[in-house]
C-alpha cells in the first residue's frame, strides 16, 4: 500500500443522508479496531460518530441529503482523533447544556440526547472553524480511558 492509499484509508466522504450512517459506523469501527481499542470502546466511538453525523445532517444541513460530510481519522500513539467536517450552518454546541437526565425523563422531554452521549463517552470534544466556510467537530478517545 503506498502512502496515498493509506491516507485515503483514513478518510471517508459521504453525502448528508442518514442511510450512510451505517457506513460511517463500519468505517470508524474498523479503524478503531485496527488502532487497538477493545470492542466496547470501538462501539462507543462508532456511536459518537453516528451521533455527530446525525447532528450535522439534522442541524447543519437541515436534513438536505445532498451535502457533504467528511470523516477523517487521525490515529496517534495515545489516542485516536476523528474530525467530522461540514460546510452547513454553524451551530455552537458549547451553548447547549447537557440535560439533567432525571428532570429530562420525568418531564418526558424529547431530543438533544446525542450531544449528551458524545460528551459522556468521548474524552475530548471540540469544535473549530475549518477552511473557508467549513466547520469541524473533533472527537478524541484516549487509549488509556476505561
* Choices 52-60, 68-76, 86-94, 125-133 (CB under 8 A): range interacting with another protein: 52-60
Euclidean distance between CA atoms 68 and 72, whole angstroms: 13
CB of 113 to another protein, least distance (A): 4
CB of 8 to another protein, least distance (A): 25
CB of 52 to another protein, least distance (A): 11
Euclidean distance between CA atoms 110 and 72, whole angstroms: 30
β-sheet with 124-129: strand ranges across: 11-15, 68-75, 79-86, 135-142, 124-129
Contact of 29 with 46, CB cutoff 8 Å: yes
Q: How many residues touch another protein (CB under 8 A)?
A: 29
C-alpha cell at 26: 463500519
* Choices 30-38, 44-52, 68-76, 131-139 (CB under 8 A): range interacting with another protein: 44-52
Contact of 30 with 84, CB cutoff 8 Å: no
Q: Report the interface residues with another protein, using CB under 8 A.
A: 18-19, 21-22, 25, 40, 43, 47, 50-51, 54, 57-58, 101-106, 108-111, 113-114, 116-117, 120-121
Amino acid at each position: 500500500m503506498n502512502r496515498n492509499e493509506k491516507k485515503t484509508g483514513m478518510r471517508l466522504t459521504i453525502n448528508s443522508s442518514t442511510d450512510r450512517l451505517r457506513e460511517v459506523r463500519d468505517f470508524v469501527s474498523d479503524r478503531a479496531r485496527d488502532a487497538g481499542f477493545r470492542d466496547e470502546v470501538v462501539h462507543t466511538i462508532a456511536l459518537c460518530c453516528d451521533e455527530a453525523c446525525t447532528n450535522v445532517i439534522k442541524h447543519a444541513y437541515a436534513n438536505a441529503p445532498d451535502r457533504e460530510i467528511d470523516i477523517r481519522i487521525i490515529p496517534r500513539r495515545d489516542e485516536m482523533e476523528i474530525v467530522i467536517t461540514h460546510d452547513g450552518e454553524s451551530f455552537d454546541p458549547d451553548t447547549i447544556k447537557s440535560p439533567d437526565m432525571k428532570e429530562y425523563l420525568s418531564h418526558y422531554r424529547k431530543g438533544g440526547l446525542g450531544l449528551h452521549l458524545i460528551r459522556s463517552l468521548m474524552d475530548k470534544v471540540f469544535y473549530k472553524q475549518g477552511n473557508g466556510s467549513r466547520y469541524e467537530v473533533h472527537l478524541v478517545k484516549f487509549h488509556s480511558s476505561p
